[in-house]
Chain A
């Protein structure tokens, strides 16, 4: 027993020190959110405690509400599209006799697996005024559009669907493997249509995985900084300033780092609630 205790302490403590460091950082930032600390200038050296003023300001800041609205539109659209498209692709690819399954899977996965900044750069060039998207549209007879200034949120959403759907697709493909084929065979004997099979068999049996997928991609998309920041920087104006980009811009472009910390805590609280919901879901499912 004593040997066990020594073993646990010895093996865990280096990792625990790392995790405690992160907790200390979070605690320190929480303190900083009650000060007027700036990135540069006198308030960078000796910040003053200003109590709840950052938080008060937050709830009067129209750009904070703007970031919540943009985040809601962005996250909602991306999650709905990725989940629906991922499920659609997985169901199609699950059919017997689909020859191009691995080619489609590879192409979709490739645009997911490449580093974030490569996605940003490639997508940015694709929607560029002289880029591929406008060339394709010109062939169909649609006049070219300045996507990044006219439809910035739209191209950010579609870009994220392009670069992120693979996660849901792969998850659903693996979930479909677990559905016993006899169920479909029995339904076919009864003369069920594809749609009926989907509603009566596929959907109920993959529902837990769909729920997991929805939770995870909602959390990740809400907190996904790189794609939108790299593509638009939050602009033009504040048109694509989703929550993480808003935090970055306030802290590092406008130097209001104490204020940024306050926003960061509001955002993290929202994320944490979603994560706890996810953990509860996982626990429930293990019991089932």
Chain B
């Protein structure tokens, strides 16, 4: 490549790189700065003071709430979609296609469209301000993604092994547990982690359903802390935000290579 062309390609890339990274750099610097402010500066004293405070009192409580909500949602969704994806992959049945398109549709509709229906039904059921309401909602909203993902995994597993086991007298359920599921371990793991991530980061659903400060997950907690008492504690908020961002960042590092493949699968359904 000619030198001038190399430069012409790299300059916009470097600008975008900096544009993407500068706000994040501020976040990291502010999290170790006991006297953090919105201003961009290298802290004169770097401490773990802010992080210490995120592991006590309300921030700790919110973290545990987030873990509980995301963990339960991911487990419930995995349980439901592991079963439900199987017929879509292995059996032809009436309405399968319509249901599949329904699931792709549901996966595409933004969460905010369901904000009022979800709130009104849980008011009616008297379940507002319970973890159950949030876990149920996030499960319904994440089933389509996990189900379609797992269907894709099932589709890649040859049916010959199962058929052979049926001839040997294995029941269908047994063949699923003994043959299909062990072969799609990575698929189950990805489905669980992705659902965990969606539930972990969700803001709107817990915002409307959990109106008590001790029930909030981290997302709503961070939002509530911001601007509380008129003074913003940037150090504490930054360290909370950073800890809150760790699971998705880890996830990204783990599946980095498969992300492109996974996303193409996501779009194609």
Contacts and interface: CB of A to CB of B under 8 A. Distances in A.
Contacts of A129: 38
Given A110-B252, A222-B110, A257-B116, A131 B39 contact: yes
Interface stretch (A55-63, A179-187, A196-204, A263-271): A263-271
A225 B204 CA distance: 7
A111 B104 contact: no
Interface residues of A, number: 94
Contacts of B244: 115, 117-118
A198 B38 CA distance: 41
Contacts of A257: 116, 119-120
Interface string A146-180: 00000000000000001000010011011001000
A122 B80 CA distance: 36
Given A8-B91, A216-B267, A132 B17 contact: no
B1 A230 contact: no
B116 A107 contact: no
Interface stretch (B7-15, B48-56, B156-164): B7-15
Contacts of A234: none
Given A29-B116, A110-B24, A116-B203, A96 B1 contact: yes
Contact of A264 (B12, B106, B113): B113
B34 to A, nearest CB: 16
Contacts of A117: 201, 203, 218-220, 222-223, 241, 244
B229 interface: no
Given A121-B237, A131-B38, A92 B12 contact: yes
A18 B40 contact: no
B37 to A, nearest CB: 6
**Interface footprint category on B:** 35 or more
Interface in B117-139: 117-121, 124, 136, 139
B177 interface: no
Interface centre among B23, B116, B260 (most CB of A within 10 A): B116
A98 B252 contact: no
Interface in A84-110: 85, 88-89, 92-93, 95-98, 100, 103-104, 107-110
B39 A121 contact: no
A98 B113 contact: no
A115 B201 contact: yes
Interface in B37-73: 37-40
Contacts of A98: 9-10, 13
Contacts of B83: 10-12, 14-15
Q: Is the interface of A mostly helix, strand, loop or mixed?
A: helix
Given A121-B241, A170-B260, A230-B223, A132 B111 contact: no
Given A122-B23, A131-B38, A279-B105, A113 B143 contact: no
B269 interface: yes
B121 A25 contact: yes
- Counting chain B CB atoms within 10 Å of each CB, the highest count among A19, A219, A222 belongs to A19
B208 interface: yes
B143 A261 contact: no
Given A8-B93, A108-B16, A257-B120, A282 B37 contact: no
A247 interface: yes
Does more than half of chain B's interface fall in helix, strand or loop, or is it mixed?
helix
B231 interface: no
Nearest to A178: B264
Contacts of B27: 118, 122, 125
Interface in A32-91: 32, 37, 85, 88-89
Interface string B88-124: 0001010000000110111011111111111111001
Interface centre among B23, B106, B218, B268 (most CB of A within 10 A): B23
A118 B243 CA distance: 10
A278 interface: yes
A-B pairs with the 10 shortest C-beta distances? A223-B110, A128-B38, A115-B201, A244-B112, A29-B117, A15-B84, A25-B121, A132-B40, A131-B38, A25-B117
Interface of B: 1, 5-6, 9-10, 12-14, 16-17, 19-24, 26-27, 30, 37-40, 80-81, 83-84, 86-87, 91, 93, 101-102, 104-106, 108-121, 124, 136, 139-140, 143, 147, 172-173, 200-201, 203-204, 208, 218-220, 222-223, 226, 234, 237-238, 241-242, 244-245, 248-249, 251-252, 259-261, 263-264, 267-269
Interface of A: 3-4, 7-8, 10-12, 14-16, 18-19, 21-22, 24-26, 28-29, 32, 37, 85, 88-89, 92-93, 95-98, 100, 103-104, 107-111, 113-118, 120-126, 128-132, 135-136, 162, 167, 170-171, 173-174, 177, 194, 212, 216, 219-220, 222-226, 230, 244, 247-248, 251-252, 257, 260-261, 264, 267-268, 271-272, 275-276, 278-279, 282
19 contacts: A14-B80, A14-B84, A16-B84, A18-B139, A113-B249, A117-B244, A118-B242, A118-B244, A120-B223, A121-B238, A124-B226, A125-B30, A126-B26, A135-B39, A212-B267, A225-B204, A247-B112, A261-B120, A271-B113
